């Protein structure tokens, strides 16, 4: 692909209008092009059949559509589908379709690799190569939605930004992708069906509040104790639990959206009743529900999932104290598609 062409999906409708006006093309063509790009998910200018052939050729000479392609798919015994998506510059990211009886969820990536070094996460052992563009995040949703229709004859119902990368370190592109996914001029999904998960960057959580976002927010917590959280999530050293509590409350006051705490239970590390007590006390500081997540082992780390009876006691301790708790069972573990396992295994990136 020629590097002299710019990515047309980085242009706003107004910028498209200006470009077209300079070439004596009517302004309404900009909205038609925008509709092809974001509502109809066109992958080439040749697809834009209500434009003249001359305009399509002009667009093709000046712009590219840097769409991703599906490089490889793996299918789990439980129905989960993991895709390796090839980006226009050759990098790979992974996305996952997670089917359930009442929903179809797309788990999408926001970065190639990750700059955070969470010790339990396979992506954390990769180098961050670059941020994804808004169009590349959008493309993952489109491809996974097509998989849901093809394999399960069901529409995509939910999106979680829980794949590779830290979404709040790619703030502008993540929000722009959500804008295109939720806009009536785009895919038209409800923002309430989108969850952005962060390892916890206090100033960016406050910025989400200032921007009054309408999607849901999840915090990868995994320990309600600074010393333990520092051990497994170095980001906590500069974003302590006190700072996060303040930022999350600010977000809640600005948006009214209750937060979800994600809590992976590691055997003999954060699964005791004392740990549950600390988590319960933290939920009293921030309006939140708790998702307890089974750990999915990775080769790079020695952590193991907690035992079933300890997990049950942990969840019961919180429920007995009025906390809304869900236990998320692993999906796609047999194809390394479960939470914390995305790492482009056996693929050059």
225 and 134 housed in the same domain: yes
Q: pTM of the full predicted structure?
A: 0.91
Radius of gyration of the chain measured on its C-alpha atoms: 21
20 and 45 housed in the same domain: yes
Looking at residue 30, which CATH number applies to its domain?
A: 1.10.150.530
31 and 93 housed in the same domain: no
Q: What are phi and psi of 136, to 5 degrees?
A: -75, -35
pLDDT of residue 121: 82
Q: Supply angle C-alpha 45, 184, 250, rounded to 5.
A: 120
Share of the chain above pLDDT 70, in %: 93
31 and 140 housed in the same domain: no
pLDDT of residue 334: 58
184 and 279 housed in the same domain: yes
44 and 80 housed in the same domain: no
pLDDT of residue 88: 95
pLDDT of residue 280: 97
Mark whether 94 is an active-site residue: yes
- Whether 2 is covered by a domain: the verdict is no
247 and 165 housed in the same domain: yes
39 and 73 housed in the same domain: no
Looking at residue 289, which CATH number applies to its domain?
A: 3.20.20.70
pLDDT of residue 61: 96
Quickly list H helices, 237-307: 241-255, 273-283
- Whether 3 is covered by a domain: the verdict is no
pLDDT of residue 119: 80
Please identify which of the residues 25, 94, 143, 166 carries the catalytic annotation.
94
Domain enclosing residue 221, as ranges = 69-335
Please identify which of the residues 114, 118, 121, 339 carries the catalytic annotation.
339
- Whether 17 is covered by a domain: the verdict is yes
- Whether 4 is covered by a domain: the verdict is no
- Which regions in the chain score pLDDT beneath 50? 1-2, 337-338, 340, 342, 346-349
pLDDT of residue 68: 96
88 and 59 housed in the same domain: no
Q: Count how many domains the chain has.
A: 2
125 and 247 housed in the same domain: yes
Domain boundary among the residues 27, 44, 64 is at 64
163 and 278 housed in the same domain: yes
User: Long-range pairs for 316-324 at CB < 8 Å and ≥24 separation?
Assistant: 317/273, 317/276, 317/277, 317/280, 318/276, 318/279, 318/280, 318/283, 318/290, 321/280, 323/280, 323/283, 323/289, 323/290, 324/289, 324/290
26 and 94 housed in the same domain: no
Mark whether 319 is an active-site residue: no
Strands 111-112 and 104-107: unpaired
pLDDT of residue 301: 74
- Whether 55 is covered by a domain: the verdict is yes
Give residue-wise pLDDT tens across range 150-176. Answer: 999 999 999 999 999 999 999 999 999
Give residue-wise pLDDT tens across range 2-23. Answer: 457 999 999 999 999 999 999 9
- Whether 1 is covered by a domain: the verdict is no
């Amino acid at each position: 692909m020629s590097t002299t062409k710019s990515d047309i999906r980085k242009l706003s409708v107004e910028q498209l209008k200006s470009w077209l006006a300079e070439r004596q093309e009517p302004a309404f063509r900009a909205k038609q092009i925008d509709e092809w790009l974001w509502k109809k998910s066109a992958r080439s200018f040749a697809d834009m059949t209500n434009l003249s052939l001359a305009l399509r050729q002009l667009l093709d000479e000046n712009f590219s559509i840097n769409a991703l392609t599906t490089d490889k798919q793996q299918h789990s015994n439980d129905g989960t589908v993991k895709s390796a998506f090839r980006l226009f510059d050759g990098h790979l990211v992974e996305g996952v379709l997670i089917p359930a009886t009442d929903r179809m969820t797309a788990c999408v990536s926001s970065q190639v690799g990750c700059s955070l070094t969470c010790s339990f996460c396979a992506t954390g052992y990769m180098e961050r190569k670059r941020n994804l563009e808004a169009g590349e995040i959008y493309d993952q949703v489109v491809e996974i939605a097509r998989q849901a229709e093809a394999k399960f004859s069901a529409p995509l119902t939910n999106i979680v930004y829980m794949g590779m990368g830290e979404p709040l370190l790619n703030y502008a592109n993540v929000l722009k992708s959500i804008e295109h996914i939720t806009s009536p001029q785009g895919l038209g999904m409800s923002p309430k069906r989108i969850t952005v998960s962060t390892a916890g960057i206090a100033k960016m959580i406050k910025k989400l509040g200032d921007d009054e976002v309408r999607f849901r927010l999840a915090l990868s917590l995994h320990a309600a104790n600074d010393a333990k959280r520092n051990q497994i999530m170095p980001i906590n050293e500069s974003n302590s639990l006190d700072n996060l509590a303040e930022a999350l409350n600010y977000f809640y006051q600005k948006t009214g959206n209750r937060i979800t705490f994600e809590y992976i239970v590691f055997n003999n590390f954060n699964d005791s009743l004392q740990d549950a007590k600390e988590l319960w006390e933290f939920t009293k500081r921030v309006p939140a529900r708790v998702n307890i997540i089974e750990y999915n082992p990775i080769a790079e780390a020695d952590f193991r999932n907690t035992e079933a009876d300890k997990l049950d006691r942990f969840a019961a301790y919180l429920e007995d104290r009025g906390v809304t708790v869900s236990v998320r069972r692993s999906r796609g573990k047999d194809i390394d598609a479960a939470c914390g396992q995305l790492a482009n295994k056996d693929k050059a990136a």
